[in-house]
Amino acid sequence: MLPLSVFACLEAWGCEGEGFATPLNATLLTFCSLHGADDAFFGSLGSFFDWRPKRGSFELNPPFTIQTSVVEDHVVGLLEAAERAGEPLSFVYVVPETSSRQRTRDEIRTKKLLSDHIIVRPKETFGGVTTSGHVYRRGNEYQNARKLPWDCPLTTVITFFQTSAAKKKWPVTAEFKKALLESFKP
C-alpha cells in the first residue's frame, strides 16, 4: 500500500478516490475494491473493472497479481469516453516498472492520454553512497500494532493518465512531482 504521506500529497493535488482498496485499508474518501459486492456494505463503489467514472481524479495501485494491461485497457476506455465528452478525468497509476509497462506507456502516449510520469528508484549504493529509496505500507498493517514500512526493492513508476480537461484542472507541475517523490521517502 502507498504510504499515508503519498495519499496526503495526492489528495492535496486533487485525487478523490482509490481504484484498488479494501474497507480495511482505504485512505481516500471513495474507493473501489476487488470484492465490490461484499465490500459495498462498507463503502466500496464496487469493482474497479465495473466502475465507469465520467470525471474526477483517482489513484490506482493495483495488486501486483493483476495483469496491468487489463487495468490499462479499462483506463484508456474511460479516458477516451471522457475526452469525447470534454470531461476532466485523471488517473495516477502506481506500479512496478517492467518492459511491458514501458511499451504500454509508449502506446498510450500516442493517444495523447499520458501527461507525465515519475520514476521512483529503490534504495541503491553507488561508490559508498546510499540513496534513500522509497517505502510502502504493508498490506496487513491493520493486523499489527507495529507499522513498519516496507523498503521497496523495485523501481516504481507513477504515470499520470489524463484527458485534456484534466491536464488543465490538475496540472502535473515540477513542484507537485517533487513533493510526490519526497512523500515516498522513508
Name the pairing type of β-strands 129-130 and 156-162: unpaired
Query: Which of 90-104, 123-137, 154-168 reaches the highest mean pLDDT?
Result: 154-168
Q: How many CA atoms lie within 13 A of 47 on its CB side?
A: 8
20-24, long-range: CB < 8 A, 24+ apart: 20/48, 20/60, 20/61, 20/62, 20/63, 20/66, 24/142
Burial of 40 (0-12, 13-18, 19+ CB in 10 A): middle
Cα 173-176-180 angle, rounded to 5 deg = 140
- Checking if the pLDDT of 3 tops 70, the result is yes
Say what the pLDDT of residue 184 is: 80
124 pLDDT tier (thresholds 50, 70, 90): low
Global pTM reads: 0.83
Say what the pLDDT of residue 77 is: 93
170 pLDDT tier (thresholds 50, 70, 90): very high
Query: What value does the mean pLDDT take over residues 176-184?
Result: 88
